[in-house]
Amino acid sequence: MDGAQTPVTAPVLILLGPPGAGKGTQARMLEEQFGLVQLSTGDLLRSAVAAGTEAGQAADAVMKAGGLVSDEIVIAVLTDRLADADCAKGVVLDGFPRTTAQAEALDEMLARSGQTITAAISLEVDDVKMVRRVAGRFTCGDCGEGYHEDFKPTKKPGVCDACGSTSMTHRADDNAKTAMSRLDAYHVKTAPLIEYYEQKAALRRVDAMGSIDRIGQDIAQIVRGA
């Protein structure tokens, strides 16, 4: 779909940070608190892989290796999703942009509807600890609630606190080896976006090594003041 038709008119938040920084968790909290729509390009790509679409077939091997899917594919997938009516409520981008080309494409997409980024929130973490964070993650296969073996275990082993499901899933790329590649990709391709948004005066930094709730409060304060 043509990006010119994107109906987004409300806040556009970006969450920046290495894998395991908590982008998905915080995006879900923002969704609940502010009625925004979480747009995770990782989730969109995983759906495309599961559905066996052309984009999914092209993305599959790259994702398994912990590399970055091509800008062309990711921008197309995101543009398509942004055009859905629910995105008019405002969006929180989780995992996009990851390259300067993607950031520029997003700016152009928004400019066509007279918009700019509301804030790019950088989740600042200790990288070395990220690999452990990523390797311990799992998700409820039914409602999507995220957990972690050490930092956010389910109250009852194997049972989702939110919906009671026992269908827990573990992402294929959430292992120590792939996590290292994803961290490398972050440093080389994505970290330069911190300066990109700093120059646009859109960057907000948050210490993301503390508790999930405290980080959420810091982010909520930024969103209210934006």
User: Dihedral through CA 39, CA 44, CA 46, CA 48, nearest 10?
Assistant: 180
Q: Which of 98, 133, 189, 204 is catalytic?
A: 98
Q: Which of 28, 81, 182, 189 is catalytic?
A: 182
Backbone angles phi, psi at 178, to 5 degrees: -65, -35
Q: Which of 23, 28, 46, 189 is catalytic?
A: 23
The number of CA neighbours under 13 Å toward the Cβ of 178 is 17
| Cβ closest to ligand AMP, residue 39 vs residue 119 | 39
Helix (H) or strand (E) holding 204: strand 203-207
**Whether 46 is catalytic:** no
**Whether 81 is catalytic:** no
| Cβ closest to ligand AMP, residue 81 vs residue 98 | 98
At 196, which amino acid appears?
Answer: Y
What is the rounded CA–CA span in Å between residue 55 and residue 51?
Answer: 10
SS3 224: helix
**Whether 28 is catalytic:** no
**Whether 155 is catalytic:** no
**Whether 224 is catalytic:** no
Q: Which of 89, 132, 152, 171 is catalytic?
A: 171
Instruction: Supply the DSSP symbol for 147.
Output: E
The two three-digit tokens of residue 61, written as one number: 């091997």
Least distance (Å) between residue 164 CB and ligand AMP: 25
Least distance (Å) between residue 82 CB and ligand AMP: 13
| Cβ closest to ligand AMP, residue 166 vs residue 206 | 206
DSSP 24-67: HHHHHHHHHHH-PEEEEHHHHHHHHHHHT-HHHHHHHHHHHHT-
Least distance (Å) between residue 191 CB and ligand AMP: 14
| Cβ closest to ligand AMP, residue 196 vs residue 224 | 196
Least distance (Å) between residue 192 CB and ligand AMP: 14
Least distance (Å) between residue 45 CB and ligand AMP: 5
| CB-based closest residue to ligand AMP | 42
| Cβ closest to ligand AMP, residue 14 vs residue 215 | 14
CA 223 remoteness from chain centre: 17
C-beta of residue 218 within 8 angstroms of C-beta of residue 174:
no
Cβ count within 10 A of residue 53: 14
Q: Which of 28, 46, 81, 137 is catalytic?
A: 137
Per CB under 6 A, residues contacting ligand AMP are 19, 40-42, 45, 62-63, 66-69, 74, 95-98, 102, 173, 182
Residues classed as catalytic: 23, 98, 137, 171, 182
